[in-house]
Structure 1
Amino acid sequence: MAKIIISCAITGGIHTPTMSDALPQTPEQIAEESIAAAEAGAAIIHLHARVPEDGRPTGDPEVFARFLPVIKQRTDAVLNLTTGGSLTMPVQERLAAAVRFQPEVCSLNMGSMNFAIFPVAGRITEWKYPWEKDYVVNSDDYVFRNSFRDIAYMFETLGGMGTKFEHECYDLSHLYNLAHFVDRGLIEPPFFIQMVFGLLGGVGADPENLAFMKQTADRLFGKENFQWSVLAAGRHQMQFATQAALLGGHVRVGLEDSLYIERGKLATSNAQQVEKIRRILAELGHEPATPTEAREMLGLKGGDRTLI
């Protein structure tokens, strides 16, 4: 059966250190977690950065510079840099590391949306760092901005560097936004579409939604023109990844998306989640794609053509 690309999102910019001791915070922790995830079978490593002293999300290229070369030297994984950063960053800050390092892949949210985790605050009584509580509680007023102008700016800036995109689609409308940019000639196939489910503010984690998103993408782009993957937030992570594999899609796991390994049990590492989805894929008769195979499927430029 077809090889399946496993992506692993190492730390993200939405969870905070209080929520899990396993969430990597320092450049050294991010590097080690990334290397372990790659060794466990992840072909793509999706990366955010955090302020080492207190775990706040940061777009500072100097922080990225402390872990990107280490990961590149010790793995062959495809390095996928965020352009999402965090909910409170302006677009220029979110894009700064990608512009400097010109990676093979960048994530790109395909539209503006409400993006919230404030219900989590009610379950936490003590916070490790002063910034965390306000960041989480105030997410009921956050709008993750990616206007058509923002998205066009990212395509025009990074596309000229040969960087491809992980098009993160949190709702049906985001697929139509992607189709709009295809019609404008700003991007060309093959596309890599990451369908996102279960986040408050986005499409719900219902199997019918996954099927309809895939059918819509087939109709808009043609099956031969894109690769697709699924990530689901929190408790939906593994079941939706499994369903994606059954439908012929790729999968994403990692502590950015879920802090748990099973119901009520926190994951101890990103690699633990990669190992679990790899076991599930094996039971379904699939093998994980190597980084070389992932590059071929996604039409990537190769790690030697980045500035990492």
Structure 2
Amino acid sequence: MSTTSRKVIISCAVTGSAHVPSMSDYLPITPEDIRSQAIEAAEAGAAILHLHARDPRDGRPTPSPDVYREFVPAIAQATDAVINITTGGSTRMTLDERLAYARIARPEMCSLNMGSMNFSLHPVAAKIESWRFDWEKDYVEGMEDMIFRNTFRDIRNILAEFQEYGTRFEFECYDVGHLYNLAHFVDQGLIKGPFFIQSVFGILGGLGPDPENVALMRSTADRLFGRENYHFSILGAGRHQMSLVTMGAILGGNVRVGLEDSVYLEKGVKAKTNAEQVRKIRRILEELSFEIATPADARQMLGLKGAGKTAL
């Protein structure tokens, strides 16, 4: 990424699959909630909307294309934000389930985790005194014995298939080794720049939220790829969200917020909407004299195919 560019892409991850409804009354779980919160986040300044689906009956993550169809087309019609569909789904889903809607929609962007890993929030279960739905407690506690699978073959097959659709990726890197996995596929010719690295901090099983790790991921990516060949972005989990993404922007990167990554707006205060987090980071960035990227800017920066070339 050119060091002369000060436009910062704000991504918003609207609901995800890790948090459960008992963690926040404001977590969007119905198609209507996801749709309205995504549109509001785009209006607040999010250029990219990262989307998962949930079963509207009880909020559990679902790969169902029918559920996605209840909110994704409406979001695409109401806003020009880049639609980014997860290929991560949840650790409970098969690879084919995780890819089901993305294969149909052929969006401008998909997320792609760059390796298999332990991924867990299970210590949080001890802090929850009551559960809204029967499935939640076992789901959160069960993360202790789950592995998020993305083998080299899985990644290679996804890259090869989605290359045919013209879909580009948000490459989610939870550790330094994931950057080297990414470099492997660049060397194989399956990934061409400019590519979008989403570096993730604060997930148990991945790299910790130490500020030094942000600089480590940035310098490692520079060494592997050359700064001019990629766009860097920061995801800080939980209470580390705002401080780490602000640091990332200062280091020349982009930012991701949203209720998938943190259910809080500030210490002890739950975010009522995704847009609250978007507005907060936008204010911080603008006070630091950064310009906020529009969806058109994001499409140009990331070499996206355009909303008109999808099947949303």
TM-score, L = length of structure 1: 0.99
The CA RMSD over aligned residues, in Å, is 0.6
Q: After the TM superposition, which residues 84-163 of structure 1 pair with which residues of structure 2 at under 5 Å, given as runs?
A: 84-163=88-167
Deviation string 1:25-46 (CA, Å, 9 cap, x unpaired) is 0111100000000000000000
Identify the residue that residue 219 of structure 1 maps to in structure 2: 223
Deviation string 1:122-167 (CA, Å, 9 cap, x unpaired) is 0112111110000001111011000001101110111110000000
> What is the one-letter code of the residue matched to 2:183?
A
Deviating 4+ runs (over 6 angstroms): none
Secondary structure of the residue that 1:88 maps to in structure 2? Answer: coil
Deviation string 1:62-113 (CA, Å, 9 cap, x unpaired) is 1111101100111000000000001111111001111000000000000000
1:277 paired with 2:281, answer: yes
Structure 2: which 5+ runs fail to align?
none
> What is the one-letter code of the residue matched to 2:300?
E
Structure 1: which 5+ runs fail to align?
none
2:295 to 291, 297, 300: 291
Secondary structure of the residue that 2:199 maps to in structure 1? Answer: strand
Identify the residue that residue 45 of structure 2 maps to in structure 1: 41
| CA apart distance, 1:264 | 1.1
2:200 to 191, 196, 199: 196
> What is the one-letter code of the residue matched to 1:45?
L
Q: Take 2:23 and 2:117, find their aligned partners in 1: how far apart are those partners?
A: 24
| CA apart distance, 1:195 | 0.3
Identify the residue that residue 167 of structure 1 maps to in structure 2: 171
Q: Take 2:92 and 2:23, find their aligned partners in 1: how far apart are those partners?
A: 19
> What is the one-letter code of the residue matched to 2:8?
I
Secondary structure of the residue that 2:39 maps to in structure 1? Answer: helix
What is the aligned-residue identity percentage? Answer: 62
Identify the residue that residue 12 of structure 2 maps to in structure 1: 8
2:62 to 39, 58, 63: 58
Secondary structure of the residue that 2:165 maps to in structure 1? Answer: coil
Identify the residue that residue 186 of structure 1 maps to in structure 2: 190
Matched positions, count: 308
Secondary structure of the residue that 2:7 maps to in structure 1? Answer: coil
> What is the one-letter code of the residue matched to 2:220?
T
2:245 to 241, 252, 260: 241
| CA apart distance, 1:231 | 0.4
